[in-house]
Amino acid sequence: MDYTILVMLMKDLVILPYQEIKIELKDEISKKIVKIANKKFANRILIVSPSGNELEPSIEDLPKIGVVSLIKSKLELSNGNLRLTLKGEKRVKICEYTSYSDDIISASVMDINLPKLEENGKEVVKKKLKDTLNEYIDASPNITNSIVSMIKDNEDLDFLTDAITTFLPLKPQKKMPYMVEANYEKRAINLIKDIKLEIKYLKLEEKIENRVEMRLSKEQEEYYLKEKLKEIESVLGIKDENENVRVYYDRLNELTLEKKTKEKLEGEIKKLERMSTSSPEKASLQSYLDWVLYLPWNISSKENLNAKKVMSSLNKSHYGLTKIKNRVIDYLNVKNLNNDIPSPIICLVGPPGVGKTTITKSIASSLNREFYKISVGGLNDSTELIGSRRTYLGALPGKIIEALKKCNTNNPVILIDEVDKMVKDFKGDPASTLLDILDSTQNKYFTDYYIEEPFDLSKVMFVLTANEISNIPYTLIDRLEVIELSSYNVYEKLDIAKKYLLPSIYNEFNLTKKLVIKDDTLMYLINNYTRESGVRNLKRVLRTLVTKVVSSKSSYTITTKSLSKYLEDLKEEVNINITYPGVVNALAYTPLGGITFKVECSIYEGKEEIIVTGSLGDVLKESVMVGLSYLKENNLISKDDVKDKTIHLHFLDASTKKEGPSCGVSIITAILSKIKNVIIDSKTTFTGEISLKGDILKVGGIKEKIIAAYNAGIKTIYIPLDNASDLKEIPKKILDKLEIKKVSKYSDIYKEIFKNNIA
Ligand code: ADP
């Protein structure tokens, strides 16, 4: 049979049958409920304790069990509150919540028919409960005799569980499940577990008490209590809610911080302490504290300032690269005199694979600093570097703070890769942000948006890398010490392969037996299997070779012939062969280093027009126009040669974009070759800008271009006379094998190549 009763929602209030409690009511609705209960419900109300965190839980979320309670007495207090003494009577099942009036909830409830239990089973549980309880009573000094006798004399398990739960010192959250569990057997089993846990607490407490002397000052007492709590928790595997807060305070005390920062962080921890477990902000505040308190504020690695050792370690890891190695040694020498000098901000510029990243790593390890690489290629958003404000959803610190955290030291070497590929757009200008990060006058107070407190970056050594100097934002460039790393020639590659790459591969594979490979074979491999300025691909090819040789268990002696067996599909020969008129081997300097490529020219009857195809920059297209005008004006070609003809120029190797005007000479040579029907020598190539008047003008990247030409097997190179001084940078070994022709006017080339050949 169901009946109606008024509901009083009391969050976090636990009342059990047989239990008496006192509560104070402030709000008018509760007072009204008490009045109505007195008049119409024989002074009885239903106490319902909502779980969850909402202030106004919805009806569906309310518990389905409540405790009917008798209002034993009430007293109006001077502050207007109403004090009640309630006595729990019984649990009832709530069939439905109804509304008694606009602001009062009622419920239709039913008494609970307790499930019939096996008599034997009941006895066993009861005995276990009583035994466990006796053990607890023995250990606990605070149990009164009346409680002991009440329990001893009663045999009703339903009553016993409620009575015991009432006096057991459990937290309200732990007691709550007992209020809403009607099945007394289940309650009894849970209670046994909880009592056992309490016994463990008691025993442990006793142990600690015995161990610690009681002559404690106030401070010691606090410390002792904290330790005691920690020990209890660790034994029981329990994490107290305030454990985190305590750990945060401990951590803060360990740190040496600016006063302002310390105060602010203390404030944040206090805020956390005051927050209720359910607060949605709690997790984000905790993750903020996890970031900020565990930054390496005071941790530095001890720098190795021994210049000799550093140099020897750099030489061990990298061939050449003397400019950068010497710069590091200079820095050390000065630092040995004055420890406070800021680290240089070095920017390594060069094609891929020339060792920019790995030498920086070696610098870090030889100086005994941590290393971290941040890539800023394609980055257009400053917040990636300096974090986003904590108020944003999912806010995080930027890459710099992330780097420091990962390194866990405040003086790592941070490599900022691809600074020539940052993008400036509406989201911000990462280059100017980077400037603030690098500038030693400002970065002492570097403030990440998320962290909010200044972190001193002045001990960090920043090394930047780029492929092309002209693409580095101009705001940055004059703050940097640019060190250019140029392409390797084949001799250098040979040396690197023998002394660095192969040994490091053997090391990787743990090989004791080495390949037997002659210089000629290695040189053949370099020339025909790798086409690059650096040696990254070379290392990859060598690794493949070693893997295949080892796994095929065949001879470790490698010949040019066996190379093709192992590396068949990796061949990357540069084909410089020319068999038709209208084709020329040209040179270009790209961000990836120097390259050789072919310029092809076709001329056929049709619309009088010029078509230019291939991957080109605009300047190169203009070079074609200039070249043609020069040829026409100087009658090097006749009007009939081009009248009603389409001239199509194609620049091969579409994958690499060629910029700049330095192809002018090659372009007109290709046109002339076609018109004059002269096949240009495959082993000859050209570089130089052409003016309308036929002057050959100075160009950039001579060293890179000559090395590329040499690596491709070219023998003769025409270069502008004005570039003659650049030849000093090229190793004599290479120059001796080339014929370099320095020219200032195109007519000189014309005379040599066409005049003699024209029938
Ligand atoms: P980058 O950063 O310039 O693209 P990496 O530093 O990644 O080039 O180098 C690519 C590979 O070439 C690495 O395995 C590196 O060890 C090797 N390497 C490059 N230059 C040298 C050198 N001078 N001496 C020894 N190994 C080198």
pLDDT of residue 383: 84
Is the pLDDT score of 465 beyond 80?
yes
| Distance in angstroms (rounded) separating the CA atoms of residues 609 and 617 | 19
Q: What single-letter amino acid sits at 427?
A: K
Mean pLDDT value across residues 632-661:
79
Of the candidate ranges 202-206, 294-298, 325-329, 591-595, the one whose mean pLDDT is the lowest: 591-595
| Distance in angstroms (rounded) separating the CA atoms of residues 588 and 656 | 10
- The atom number, within ligand 1, closest to the CA of 318 reads 24
Please provide the DSSP assignment of 124-147 as one string: HHHHHHHHHHHHHHHH-TT--HHH
pLDDT of residue 513: 78
Residue of 485, 536, 592 with the most ligand 1 atoms within 8 Å of its CB, for mutation:
536
Query: Which residues belong to CATH 1.10.8.60 in the chain?
Result: 490-566
Q: What single-letter amino acid sits at 42?
A: A
Ligand 1 pocket, 57 CB below 6 A?
no
Q: Is 661 helix (H, G, I), strand (E, B) or coil?
A: coil
CA angle 276, 280, 284 (to 5 degrees): 105
Of the candidate ranges 117-126, 292-301, 308-317, 720-729, the one whose mean pLDDT is the lowest: 117-126
Q: Identify the band that residue 719 occupies on the pLDDT scale cut at 50, 70 and 90.
A: very high
Query: Which residues belong to CATH 3.40.50.300 in the chain?
Result: 307-484
- The atom number, within ligand 1, closest to the CA of 538 reads 12
| Distance in angstroms (rounded) separating the CA atoms of residues 641 and 673 | 12
pLDDT of residue 660: 67
- The values of phi and psi at residue 497, to 5°, are -60, -45
CB 391 within 8 A of CB 444: no
User: In sequence order, which residues have a C-beta less than 8 Å from that of residue 676 and are 6 or more positions away?
Assistant: 581, 754, 757, 758
Ligand 1 pocket, 320 CB below 6 A?
yes
pLDDT in tens, 547-568: 887 777 777 777 777 877 777 7
Mean pLDDT value across residues 384-389:
88
Q: What count of other Cβ atoms lies within 10 Å of the Cβ of residue 408?
A: 13
pLDDT of residue 722: 94
Ligand 1 pocket, 356 CB below 6 A?
yes
Query: Which residues belong to CATH 1.20.58 in the chain?
Result: 119-210
Closest residue CA from atom 6 of ligand 1: 355
Q: Identify the band that residue 210 occupies on the pLDDT scale cut at 50, 70 and 90.
A: low
- Across the chain, mean pLDDT equals 84
Please provide the DSSP assignment of 183-203 as one string: -HHHHHHHHHHHHHHHHHHHH
Closest residue CA from atom 15 of ligand 1: 355
Lookup result for tokens 């006379």: 721
pLDDT of residue 362: 92
Q: Is 723 helix (H, G, I), strand (E, B) or coil?
A: helix
Residue of 535, 541, 542 with the most ligand 1 atoms within 8 Å of its CB, for mutation:
535
Structure tokens at 105: 């909830």
Cα–Cα nearest to 597, from 659, 529, 523: 659
pLDDT of residue 701: 85
- Strand 593-605 to 645-651 pairing: antiparallel
Ligand 1 pocket, 315 CB below 6 A?
no
Is the pLDDT score of 387 beyond 50?
yes
Ligand 1 pocket, 496 CB below 6 A?
yes
Residue of 354, 365, 420, 421 with the most ligand 1 atoms within 8 Å of its CB, for mutation:
354
Q: What single-letter amino acid sits at 746?
A: Y
CA 355 / ligand 1 centre spacing (Å): 3
Ligand 1 pocket, 360 CB below 6 A?
no
Is the pLDDT score of 758 beyond 60?
no
Closest residue CA from atom 9 of ligand 1: 355
Mean pLDDT value across residues 61-73:
90
Cα–Cα nearest to 587, from 579, 578, 595, 599: 595
Cα–Cα nearest to 591, from 378, 346, 415, 352: 352
CA angle 122, 123, 128 (to 5 degrees): 100
Mean pLDDT value across residues 186-199:
89
Residue of 318, 324, 358, 371 with the most ligand 1 atoms within 8 Å of its CB, for mutation:
358
pLDDT of residue 123: 77
Q: Identify the band that residue 473 occupies on the pLDDT scale cut at 50, 70 and 90.
A: confident
For residue 64, CA distances in Å to 67, 91, 314, 535 come to 10, 10, 74, 73
| Distance in angstroms (rounded) separating the CA atoms of residues 4 and 94 | 10
CA 419 / ligand 1 centre spacing (Å): 18
* Architecture of the CATH domain 119-210: Up-down Bundle (1.20)
Distance of CA 528 to the CA centre of its chain: 38
Ligand 1 pocket, 357 CB below 6 A?
yes
Closest residue CA from atom 18 of ligand 1: 355
Is the pLDDT score of 213 beyond 60?
no
Higher per-residue pLDDT: 9 or 509:
9
CB 409 within 8 A of CB 301: yes
Q: Is 107 helix (H, G, I), strand (E, B) or coil?
A: strand
Query: Which strands form 583-590's sheet, in the order they lie side by side?
Result: 609-614, 645-651, 593-605, 583-590, 684-686, 716-720, 739-743
CA 317 / ligand 1 centre spacing (Å): 9
For residue 428, CA distances in Å to 380, 420, 424, 609, 634 come to 7, 16, 6, 44, 52
| Distance in angstroms (rounded) separating the CA atoms of residues 38 and 71 | 8
Q: Is 340 helix (H, G, I), strand (E, B) or coil?
A: coil
Structure tokens at 665: 């000479």
Mean pLDDT value across residues 608-629:
77
pLDDT in tens, 733-745: 889 989 999 999 9
DSSP state of 717: E
User: In sequence order, which residues have a C-beta less than 8 Å from that of residue 622 and are 6 or more positions away?
Assistant: 661
Is the pLDDT score of 238 beyond 60?
no
Query: Which residues belong to CATH 3.30.230.10 in the chain?
Result: 583-754
CA 654 / ligand 1 centre spacing (Å): 26
CA angle 266, 270, 273 (to 5 degrees): 140
The count of residues in the chain is 759
| Distance in angstroms (rounded) separating the CA atoms of residues 353 and 535 | 5
Is the pLDDT score of 439 beyond 80?
yes
Ligand 1 pocket, 318 CB below 6 A?
yes
- Strand 583-590 to 684-686 pairing: parallel
Q: Identify the band that residue 334 occupies on the pLDDT scale cut at 50, 70 and 90.
A: confident
Q: Where are the beta strands (DSSP E) in 566-712?
A: 583-590, 593-605, 609-614, 645-651, 684-686, 689-690, 696-697
Mean pLDDT value across residues 290-309:
90
Structure tokens at 188: 């009894």
Mean pLDDT value across residues 597-606:
88
Q: Where are the beta strands (DSSP E) in 680-727?
A: 684-686, 689-690, 696-697, 716-720
- The values of phi and psi at residue 559, to 5°, are -115, 170
Q: What single-letter amino acid sits at 117?
A: L
Structure tokens at 271: 């805020």
Q: What is the CA radius of gyration of the chain?
A: 42
DSSP state of 515: P
pLDDT in tens, 248-284: 888 898 888 888 888 899 898 888 888 776 677 788 8
The β-bridge partners of 108 are: 4, 96
CB 161 within 8 A of CB 178: yes
pLDDT in tens, 5-57: 999 988 878 899 988 888 888 888 899 999 999 999 999 999 998 876 555 66
CA 462 / ligand 1 centre spacing (Å): 19
Q: What count of other Cβ atoms lies within 10 Å of the Cβ of residue 524?
A: 15
Q: Which fold has domain 583-754?
A: Ribosomal Protein S5; domain 2 (3.30.230)
What pTM does this model have?
Answer: 0.59
Q: What is the dihedral of CA 148, 152, 153, 156, to 10 degrees?
A: 110
CA 389 / ligand 1 centre spacing (Å): 38
Half-sphere exposure of 299 (CA within 13 A, CB side): 14
Higher per-residue pLDDT: 659 or 466:
466
* Alpha-carbon torsion (113, 117, 122, 124), positive or negative: negative
CA 717 / ligand 1 centre spacing (Å): 29
Cα–Cα nearest to 673, from 581, 579, 578: 581
Closest residue CA from atom 5 of ligand 1: 355
Is the pLDDT score of 350 beyond 60?
yes
| Distance in angstroms (rounded) separating the CA atoms of residues 527 and 504 | 21
Q: What single-letter amino acid sits at 363?
A: I
For residue 340, CA distances in Å to 213, 371, 414 come to 49, 21, 19
Structure tokens at 180: 């809403």
- The values of phi and psi at residue 92, to 5°, are -130, 160
- The atom number, within ligand 1, closest to the CA of 350 reads 3
Ligand 1 pocket, 352 CB below 6 A?
yes
Please determine, looking at this structure, whether the domain spanning 307-484 carries the CATH number 3.40.1170.20.
no
Q: What count of other Cβ atoms lies within 10 Å of the Cβ of residue 66?
A: 28
Q: Identify the band that residue 287 occupies on the pLDDT scale cut at 50, 70 and 90.
A: confident
Q: Identify the band that residue 69 occupies on the pLDDT scale cut at 50, 70 and 90.
A: very high
Closest residue CA from atom 11 of ligand 1: 536
Q: Identify the band that residue 219 occupies on the pLDDT scale cut at 50, 70 and 90.
A: low
Is the pLDDT score of 241 beyond 60?
no
CA 471 / ligand 1 centre spacing (Å): 22
* Architecture of the CATH domain 490-566: Orthogonal Bundle (1.10)
The β-bridge partners of 107 are: 5, 97
Mean pLDDT value across residues 611-621:
72
Mean pLDDT value across residues 62-76:
90
CB 494 within 8 A of CB 520: no
Is the pLDDT score of 759 beyond 50?
no
Q: Identify the band that residue 613 occupies on the pLDDT scale cut at 50, 70 and 90.
A: confident
- For 3-111, CATH gives 2.30.130.40
Is the pLDDT score of 569 beyond 80?
no
Q: What is the dihedral of CA 339, 342, 343, 349, to 10 degrees?
A: -160
Query: Which residues belong to CATH 2.30.130.40 in the chain?
Result: 3-111
* Alpha-carbon torsion (613, 619, 620, 623), positive or negative: positive
CB 697 within 8 A of CB 688: yes
Ligand 1 pocket, 534 CB below 6 A?
yes
CA 550 / ligand 1 centre spacing (Å): 24
Task: Just list the catalytic residues.
Answer: 662, 705
